[in-house]
Amino acid sequence: MPVTGVRAFVFDLDGTMVDNMAPHLEAFARFGQRHGLPPLTMADRARIDGKRNAEVFATVFGRTLTDAEWRAFEDEKEALYRELSVGRLVPTPGLERLLALAGERDIAIAVATSAPRENVEHTLRELGLAHLLPYVARGDEVPHGKPAPDVFLAAARRIGVPPALCVAFEDAPMGIAAARRAGMQTCGLTTSFTRAQLEALDEPPHFVVGDFDEFLEGPGRWLLAPP
């Protein structure tokens, strides 16, 4: 049962803090053409969105990859993303207002992402938010990637807040499952999947919103109430 008295917000990055799926998909389309891969379908994305690149590339190529192989694929595809996304990234509506409110109410903030370090630094720099988000837990820093809870638990440890008092924001089924398994309250954003798709998950989010403005006008009103 969701509780009030929230003490931390834990954000996924791609597709959550920023609706950057368009440049990611453009980058993957170019990458796929180079390597003879079919276009990604929504069913493909439900299986790979939110996962670490080691798992993503093994899935799309349909075989086990060596470390050298998947790292080379990661470098190639993510360099395309960073090139294509320059000047195109803006915070998801309501995010800056939510971060300001968190600062006013002494609510801790962390990021829990599967993105590699270079992408995290690039994306936060493009958003102008790097100075507000010093606590970042990455999937390549923990034993298991999403849908395992490791990266969300790592984020909670870094800010010193019990998972039960954290609200996690996610856009992908794998990430929602990871946050729930970490014991966090979860809010799904419909930037990548529809409300119906998120609500139909085996492990659905506690709340579903279109953006952070909707969160603040809806569940945020009572989730942020004093305990």
Considering the four listed CATH numbers 3.90.380.10, 3.40.50.1000, 3.40.50.2000, 3.40.50.150, the one that applies to the domain covering 8-19+91-223 is: 3.40.50.1000
Using CA atoms, how far apart are residues 149 and 145, in angstroms rounded to an integer?
A: 8
Place of tokens 């990430």: 175
pLDDT for the residue numbered 221: 84
To the question of pTM greater than 0.95 for the whole model, the response is no
Cis status, amide bond into 147, omega within 30 of 0 = yes
If the chain, 227 residues long, is cut into consecutive pieces of 10 residues, what is the mean pLDDT of each piece? 74 97 95 96 92 95 96 97 97 97 94 97 96 96 97 98 97 97 97 96 96 95 73
Using CA atoms, how far apart are residues 208 and 199, in angstroms rounded to an integer?
A: 8
Domain definitions of the chain by residue range: 8-19+91-223, 21-85
For 21-85, CATH gives 1.10.150.240
DSSP string, 122-187: HHHHHHT-GGG---EEEGGGSSS-TTSSHHHHHHHHHHT--GGGEEEEESSHHHHHHHHHTT-EEE
pLDDT for the residue numbered 4: 58
Q: For 17, phi and psi rounded to 5 degrees? A: -70, -25
